[in-house]
Chain A
Amino acid sequence: MIEVKDLVKKYGATTAVDHLTFTVAPGRITGFLGPNGAGKSTTMRLILGLDRPSSGSALIDGKPYRELRDPLRHVGALLEARAVHGGRSAFNHLLYLAQTQGVPKRRVSEVLELVGLTSVADKRTKGFSLGMGQRLGIAAALLADPRILILDEPVNGLDPEGVVWIRELLKALAAEGRTVFISSHLMNEMAVTADHLIVIGRGSLQADMPVGQFIAQFSNSAVLVRTPRAAGLRVAAERHGWTVTTTSDEEMLIVTNSTAPEIGELAAELGIALHELTPQRASLEEAYMELTRESGEFTHHVPPTAAPALVIPTTPTAPSAEALTPGGPDDRV
């Protein structure tokens, strides 16, 4: 159990973490989501006692991290920043950590085997690839068999096989009743991994809810309509209170706050022929972008380009057209 209460971290005039309060419960995977610079890593470092909070608290099973005896037996952590001496072998790096906790040497070989690094155990880590470094970090996190795992961007640098491996591993650990808290800026990765989501933007809490609820609450589903009588349908749809977005193709409309059956019924009533009626299912990625659009530290001045299949130049009065884009450049692992 991780409890964050009214946590604040300021660096000079910049507020990196702004009155965050949330709880990470055991037995499930909690995704910690936010754009780059939202304060995810800082929050994790505060939980882990690496940084001192400006105010508020972060407790692990009721205690600040710095007061834990043999902390690695309580919490296994993977940090985003590199945390190994490149001149030391993987085995000796883990041996050092094991010795501080009174964990026997054979456990070092066990975790190296688990993450698939046995063959390079005696190699100095400066030659490791990003993925190997990530596996070493995961080995360190699992070393003392902790009940709580805090992993900052665990899939970073892993190949697709590695991504699936870590996902299955985390699910198995959560099913064991452990607390699993993982950060990511990749919504789609969270969609298939996490059970619960905590979303932050600019250091403050945006959402704290199960994944399903998050999608339902934050996504507008849109429907693409193609008809020769677009103008007539548009007037009727707007009378129903639906949002209609025109496109450069004068036969094509994007309707939001409605459903395909409703639009079909309306068109039938008016005797308007439809050439196309396609629901655009909102993904988690869209919901996330919708939510954090204004809160990233490095917001795009130009909206991310839409996928080639659906390039729709929109009128300025079309607030939700952007939500149709199936994701920015980095939506996939």
Chain B
Amino acid sequence: MTASSETVFSPPAVDGAGTGHANFGRLLLAEWTKLRSVRSTYWSLIALIIAFPFFCWLFPYLTVANWSQATPTQQANLLLDPIGSMMAPGQYIGQLAVAVLGVMVTASEYSTGMIRSTLLASPRRVRMLAAKSVVFTLLILVIGEVVSFAGFFIGRQTFKSRIIVNLDSGDIRQVLGGGLYLAMLALFAMVLGALIRHVAGAITGIVALLLVLSGLISLIPGQIGKYLYTYEPTNAGFAIISKHVPDNFLLTSWEGYGVFAAWTAALWILAAWLLVRRDA
């Protein structure tokens, strides 16, 4: 236990002191270390990697199995947007794993007290938040695209006997959109965690938004209902994975994704501002 005191006074074990330009790169590396060294990251990503393709297989499988019992309208709808139909169930499940992980990435720093170590090491708080955002969003973008394409190929294979799915220019947007949506959601959830600073509270908030609020507001009648539905951040983002936007959606798919991005950016700026101002 009692170490010899010489070890303390070994020459400063630091490289590149004074060369400050590598700082952001260091922060990226450090945030990556943080992300890969806790179990919640693995559990959430395993859930995403298993659940997403599984549900992309399940829906087409049940559809093909019950094809003869489907009404002509149902059959027509499926033929209208087969990619959206097979990928939506995977998205619904997969987004929960991403949202929970996103919240944990920031809020758990507060609930554990880790944030104090983080801010002592990087007192330029906005840079720290930026590094965390880049690392986490890129990670989910890569994994999101992988599961999205995996889900697509599995679903297409399963549909093959009834529906032939082609990847023309419009349809590839839907498949790419699966990963894009998850990546933006990851950042959105992470920012929400940074704002709420409480794991349970932030998870409740984002799950309520994704599962309850986004659907509930489609029940509001009239033009106001359409506006609320369209500009609700997750609905807006989800438009990127459907071939045709719903009737009560006022924008195009890409515009919807832009709305989601704008929400995320606004909340990010608010989180950064509060991070600098609030006591840790």
A interface with B by C-beta (< 8 Å): 45, 48-52, 65-73, 77, 79, 81-89, 92-93, 95-97, 99-104, 106-107, 110, 113-116, 140, 142, 144-145, 161-162, 165, 168-169, 172-173, 176
Contact of B280 among A50, A86, A113, A144 (CB under 8 A): A50
Contact of A92 among B2, B15, B37 (CB under 8 A): B37
In terms of DSSP, what is the predominant structure of the interface of chain B?
helix
Give the nearest-CB partner of B38 in chain A.
Answer: A87
> B161 within 8 Å of A by Cβ?
no
CB <8 Å contact, A79 and B37: no
Q: Contacts A83-B113, A87-B38; is A145 near B120 (CB within 8 Å)?
A: no
Most buried by B among A51, A102, A104: A102
18 further A-B pairs in the complex, CB-CB below 8 A; given A66-B124, A92-B37, A169-B8 = A50-B116, A51-B279, A52-B277, A69-B18, A72-B120, A79-B120, A81-B113, A82-B112, A82-B113, A83-B120, A86-B112, A87-B39, A89-B37, A92-B34, A96-B33, A101-B26, A116-B2, A142-B8
CB <8 Å contact, B1 and A116: yes
Could you list 23 A-B pairs, sorted by A, with CB under 8 Å?
A: A45-B279, A50-B119, A71-B121, A73-B14, A73-B17, A79-B116, A84-B112, A84-B113, A84-B114, A84-B117, A85-B34, A85-B112, A88-B114, A96-B121, A100-B26, A100-B122, A101-B121, A102-B26, A115-B3, A145-B10, A145-B12, A165-B1, A173-B8
CA distance A73 to B121 in the complex (A): 9
Please name all residues of chain B whose beta carbon is closer than 8 Å to the beta carbon of A97 when the two chains form the complex: 30, 117, 121
Interface residues on chain B, number (Cβ under 8 Å): 45
> B218 within 8 Å of A by Cβ?
no
Please name all residues of chain A whose beta carbon is closer than 8 Å to the beta carbon of B277 when the two chains form the complex: 52
Please name all residues of chain B whose beta carbon is closer than 8 Å to the beta carbon of A102 when the two chains form the complex: 14-17, 22, 26
> B171 within 8 Å of A by Cβ?
no
B195 to chain A, nearest CB (A): 18
Q: Contacts A85-B108, A110-B7, A110-B13; is A95 near B33 (CB within 8 Å)?
A: yes
Please name all residues of chain A whose beta carbon is closer than 8 Å to the beta carbon of B13 when the two chains form the complex: 103-104, 106-107, 110, 145
Give the nearest-CB partner of B9 in chain A.
Answer: A176
Please name all residues of chain B whose beta carbon is closer than 8 Å to the beta carbon of A49 when the two chains form the complex: 119-120, 123
Contact of A114 among B3, B17, B122 (CB under 8 A): B3
Give the nearest-CB partner of B277 in chain A.
Answer: A52
Please name all residues of chain A whose beta carbon is closer than 8 Å to the beta carbon of B117 when the two chains form the complex: 83-84, 93, 96-97, 140
Q: Which of B68-89 contact A (CB under 8 A)?
A: none
CA distance A89 to B38 in the complex (A): 8
Q: Mark B115-135, 1 if CB is under 8 A from A, else 0.
A: 111011111100000000000
CA distance A61 to B15 in the complex (A): 22
> B5 within 8 Å of A by Cβ?
yes
Please name all residues of chain A whose beta carbon is closer than 8 Å to the beta carbon of B113 when the two chains form the complex: 81-84
Please name all residues of chain B whose beta carbon is closer than 8 Å to the beta carbon of A67 when the two chains form the complex: 123
A37 to chain B, nearest CB (A): 17
Most buried by A among B109, B115, B121: B121
Q: Mark B145-188, 1 if CB is under 8 A from A, else 0.
A: 00000000000000000000000000000000000000000000
Please name all residues of chain A whose beta carbon is closer than 8 Å to the beta carbon of B18 when the two chains form the complex: 69
A-B pairs, top 10 by smallest CB distance, nearest first, are A92-B37, A99-B30, A107-B13, A83-B116, A116-B1, A51-B279, A100-B121, A85-B114, A66-B123, A82-B113
CB <8 Å contact, A88 and B14: no
Please name all residues of chain A whose beta carbon is closer than 8 Å to the beta carbon of B39 when the two chains form the complex: 87
